[in-house]
Amino acid sequence: MVAKRRAEMVEETRAKLIQAARKAFAAKGYAAASMDDLTADAGLTRGALYHNFGDKKGLLQAVIDQIDAEMLVRLRREQERAETPWRGLLAEYAAYIEMALEPEIQRIMLLDGPAVLGDPSQWPNQNACLLRATQEIQALIDAGTVKPVDAEAAARLLNGAALNASLWIAAADDPHAVFPKAVEAFQDLAAGLLRAEG
Amino acid sequence: MVAKRRAEMVEETRAKLIQAARKAFAAKGYAAASMDDLTADAGLTRGALYHNFGDKKGLLQAVIDQIDAEMLVRLRREQERAETPWRGLLAEYAAYIEMALEPEIQRIMLLDGPAVLGDPSQWPNQNACLLRATQEIQALIDAGTVKPVDAEAAARLLNGAALNASLWIAAADDPHAVFPKAVEAFQDLAAGLLRAEG
DNA sequence: TTATGAACATACGGAGCGTATGTCAATAAG
DNA sequence: CTTATTGACATACGCTCCGTATGTTCATAA
């Protein structure tokens, strides 16, 4: 074992705490997750946690930033694969709905996150997924594909629709069966943004 | 002061507790609201609370049921005023967005409720608002106004869109300015459900 | 009249969060 | 090379809060 530099040790500590927090928050929810248990699971104590993240909310914020970044990568991949920008947007939202089925994302990003930290758009990291969607929609408006609506408004409503779609699917008796229904309904809704073909 | 019947006293106690809880939950959020403070504010103690509602979650559920019922009344009024069923649905959702601007509804029904009690459609009271929307959309499908999508899917997505619209408006610097943008974007989206006019 | 149970209040124990304090090692200063 | 300082944690403490167990009172039933 080679001696590690100071900064590397710190980064490793933060990573271990965030990892443990993701597991605990996803499994028990933010409120029920004990910081004693969580830090012990990472081989540390609450001292490390308060030193690195300030308080419990700070840790949640760090976890959310990490997950948000991961989601952004996946969304980017989906969109790059699509043939047109419009289909790219739809593909992104389909992927978003699918991602939101993962308990970790649903519990942390969609339920506890807003409840504890407030409106996602006000988060320090500015919710990269939302920002990205807004820019894409604006581009589609400029290109004449989409009606001249407010891009941010459209992005937010689509995000909300996708979120509820995921909650619905996740709570369903047979998630596999309702998934296509949700995606279909979503695409019908989104089509309302297209410019009339006349 | 006339002597009151036993049942009346109980109902009054429950009402006072629910009222105090609405205030406390709306002001501080569910997690930060202390049951000692809350019950004292109602002139009672935690004993009354646990006797009537079981636990803290039970009280939240009672509060949610009450607010849900109130919202249903207001939605009904909006819809009865409209000229066509389709415009009635749009009017309902506009009212829904407007209601969701009230801190009490936003905090309790839209943020803490789902985070603490899980998916709203699984609540005992079955979220009357959602149920109502589903039925109206189904009727519009039967009437040929709306595409033959899954009614519940459509209702859930519209609810999600309306919810995020409200969160957006509430967090905006100038809520009054973004409100019409949100409603317009919502109606564009909803129009995607209409049958093609060809 | 007495007994029973509902409707609360009071008392108690345990868990959890945040902070204050202590410890040790690495770097900086002299 | 020695010493002072600071960062990166661990430990200890107090406070709040929830849930339950145990009283207490009063209405109603027997």
Nearest to A118 by CA among B31, B8, B122, B94: B31
More confident residue, B4 or A34: A34
Q: pLDDT tens digit string along B136-152?
A: 999 999 999 999 999 99
Bases along strand D below 7 A from a protein CB: 7-12, 16-21, 23, 27-28
Question: Which residues are registered as beta bridge partners of A194?
Answer: A146
Q: Are residues B104 and B179 in the same domain?
A: yes
If you ran DSSP here, which 8-state letter would residue A82 be given?
-
pLDDT band (50, 70, 90) for residue A112 = very high
Are the C-beta atoms of B57 and B116 separated by less than 8 Å? yes
Q: Hey, what amino acid is at B22?
A: R
State the pLDDT at residue A1.
43
Place of tokens 């939202």: A93
Q: Residues A131-144, buried b or exposed e (16+ Cβ, 10 A)?
A: ebbbebbbebbeee
pLDDT tens per residue, range B43-78? 999 999 999 999 999 999 999 999 999 999 999 999
Do A84 and A29 have their domain in common?
A: no
Q: Could you tell me if residue B30 is inside a domain?
A: yes
> Are B110 and B100 contacting, i.e. CB atoms less than 8 angstroms apart?
yes
Q: What percent of chain B has pLDDT over 70?
A: 95
Per-residue pLDDT reduced to its tens digit, A145-189: 999 999 999 999 999 999 899 889 988 888 889 999 999 999 999
Residue B19 domain flag: yes
Protein residues closer than 7 Å by CB to strand D: A 6-7, 9-10, 13-14, 39, 43-48, 51-52; B 3, 5-6, 33-37, 46-47, 50, 55-57
Closest by CA position to B185, among listed A115, A38, A19, A141: A141
B43: domain range?
8-54
Same-domain pairing of A130 and A85: yes
The verdict on B14 and B80 lying in the same domain is no
Q: What is the pLDDT of residues A5-21, one digit of tens each?
A: 667 788 899 999 999 99
CB A148 within 8 Å of CB A139: no
**From CA B188, how far away is CA A30, in angstroms rounded?**
36
Name the residue of chain A whose CA is nearest to B109's CA. Answer: A115
Average pLDDT over residues B156-178: 91
- The predicted model gives A44-48 an average pLDDT of 96
How distant is C1' of D21 from CA of B68, in Å?
A: 35
Number of domains comprising chain A = 2
Alpha-helix runs per DSSP H in chain A: 6-28, 35-41, 46-53, 56-81, 85-99, 103-104, 113-117, 128-142, 151-171, 175-191
Residue nearest to nucleotide C20 (CA to C1'): A47
In a domain, B2, yes or no: no
List the CATH number of the domain containing B30: 1.10.10.60
Residue A198 in any domain: the answer is no
Q: Provide the sign of the torsion angle of the four alpha carbons A11, A62, A168, B115, taken in this order.
A: positive
User: In this model, does residue B7 exceed pLDDT 80?
Assistant: no
Mean pLDDT of chain A: 92
How far does Cα A128 stand from its chain's mean position?
A: 8
Position A126 scores a pLDDT of 63
Match 């803490």 to its residue by tokens: B112
Helix (H), strand (E) at residue B156 = helix B151-171
Is A186 in Cβ contact with B191 (below 8 Å)? no
- Tokens found for residue B141: 């499908």
Measured in degrees and rounded to the nearest 5, phi and psi for residue A42 equal: -95, 5
Residues in B touching A122 (Cβ below 8 Å): 171
Is a pLDDT exceeding 80 seen at residue B96? Answer: yes
Residues B107 and B164 in one domain: yes
Instruction: Kindly state whether residue A59 falls inside one of the protein's structural domains.
Output: no
Q: Is the dihedral of CA A20, A23, A29, A32 positive or negative?
A: negative
DSSP code, position A29: -
- Give me A47's structure tokens: 């001292």
pLDDT at B2 over 50: no
Residue range A172-181, pLDDT digits in tens: 888 889 999 9
Whether B153 sits inside 8 A of A160 (CB atoms) is no
Residue among B118, B122, B181 minimizing CB distance to A150: B181
**Chain A residues with beta carbon closer than 8 angstroms to that of B190:** 189, 192
In a domain, B1, yes or no: no
User: For residue A88, is pLDDT > 90?
Assistant: yes
Which residues neighbour B63 within 8 Å (Cβ) at sequence distance 6 or greater?
A: B18, B21, B22, B25, B108
At which residue do the structure tokens 């840790």 appear? A59
Structure-model confidence comparison of residues B116 and B8, the more confident one: B116
Give the pLDDT band of residue B198 (cuts 50, 70, 90): very low
CATH of the domain at A1: 1.10.10
Distance from CA(A109) to C1'(C16), angstroms, rounded: 23
**0.85 exceeded by pTM:** yes
Which of A112, B198, B166 lies closest to B185 in space, CA to CA? B166
Q: Is residue A4 very low, low, confident or very high in pLDDT (cuts 50, 70, 90)?
A: low
What pLDDT is stored for residue B5 in this prediction?
Answer: 66
Structural domain contains residue B135:
yes
- Round to whole Å and give the CA distance between B183 and A156: 12
CA nearest to B173 within chain A: A122
